């Protein structure tokens, strides 16, 4: 995880906490979801292995809402 990704994960986690309540997901899980989201090919296989997805579904859904609303421009263009 790069320094930029760590800062991004902290910001996403803080934003999720502010809007949806408690936040117990790890920064690593946040980065994995962010990377899968940005890839843009619909392959979320790494995300499905995270504790955030498997045990913190509400927090995961909140994160997806934040990504879709504010980070759509980070997605790779697929042909």
Distance, CA of 28 to CA of 51 (rounded, Å): 10
Q: In what helix (H) or strand (E) does residue 17 lie, and over which residues does it extend?
A: helix 3-20
Q: Which pTM value belongs to this model?
A: 0.87
pLDDT by residue, tens only, the chain of 79 residues: 789 889 999 999 999 999 888 889 999 999 999 999 988 788 999 999 999 999 999 999 999 999 888 877 777 655 4
The position carrying tokens 């697929």 is: 78
Distance, CA of 46 to CA of 29 (rounded, Å): 9
* Cβ proximity of 13 and 59 under 8 Å: no
Its sign, for the CA torsion 28, 53, 14, 22, is negative
């Amino acid at each position: 995880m790069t320094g930029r990704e760590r800062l991004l994960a902290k910001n996403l986690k803080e934003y999720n906490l502010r809007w949806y309540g408690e936040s117990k997901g790890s920064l690593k899980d946040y980065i994995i979801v962010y990377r899968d989201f940005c890839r843009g090919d619909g392959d979320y296989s790494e995300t499905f292995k995270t504790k955030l997805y498997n045990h913190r579904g509400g927090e995961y859904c909140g994160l997806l809402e934040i990504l879709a609303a504010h980070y759509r421009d980070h997605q790779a263009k697929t042909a």
